[in-house]
Amino acid sequence: MSSPANAKKVRSDNLLFYSHIEICRILQMLAHERCHITAELGEHRSFKAFMLSLDLPHGHFTTTFSINKEANSALLAFADAVEFTATDSQGLLYTFEGSSPEETQIDGQPVLLFNLPKSLLIHNRREHVRFPAPDNPALRCIADAAGFMPFESHVTDVSHDGLGMLIYDTGINLEQGAILKGCRIITPKGEAVTADLELRYINTIQLPDGTTAKRAGFRFLRAPSELSQLINLFIQDMDKR
């Protein structure tokens, strides 16, 4: 997985990501650089460690243990999600959450495992930064509207390079490589963005309510003129808010 070079070229000083694709790219870069991370645990206790790796199929990232055993114990006992701040080689700051910490091992070495965050903030401010809990930015989509089998679905991600994710009912049978013609993606303002989507992979996921659904990674065959409008729903410029 490549580093978020495209994001760095187009972004302002402070960007809030809801895009799972972009979040994973950024965390992969932080892990590759073995970046330093910190978290405040209350009562003047800090957790300090290093990013290690991502387990994308299972939705986890890992860190080293802190050299402070009390901080490790406090973190493992923490009931809420922990807010981490990481610093990369350029001195930029990345704020994101880690939840459900567990002790595990990778190649015989003890590590801490966390659920992947649903949002991530890149910023250059040294003060402690708070950011809003993410809303669900999923967009209604009438997939294959100009094809043979229109169906209801939701677009749950759009990244800078025109990749995204589509959620739909398990009763709909699609194959990798399928082309969905004239998909109508509905924005929060009720406007429709029309595009052809190519499915890159398909898997089955469990939704928060316990039901299952199909999730397909896609790419735009031809980027619609409104692509930046869709991207802005998942990658928000905090300096313009």
Q: Reduced to 3 states, what is the DSSP secondary structure of residue 171? A: coil
Using alpha carbons, select from 140, 215, 218 the residue that is nearest to residue 181.
Answer: 218
Stretch (H or E) spanning 72: helix 69-76
- The structure's pTM equals 0.86
- Burial of 86 per CB tally in 10 Å (0-12, 13-18, 19+): buried
Domains of the chain are 5-123 (2.30.110.10), 139-240 (2.40.10.220)
pLDDT tens, 134-167? Answer: 556 799 999 999 999 999 999 999 999 999 999 9
Tens digits of per-residue pLDDT, 40-64?
Answer: 887 778 999 999 999 888 889 999 9
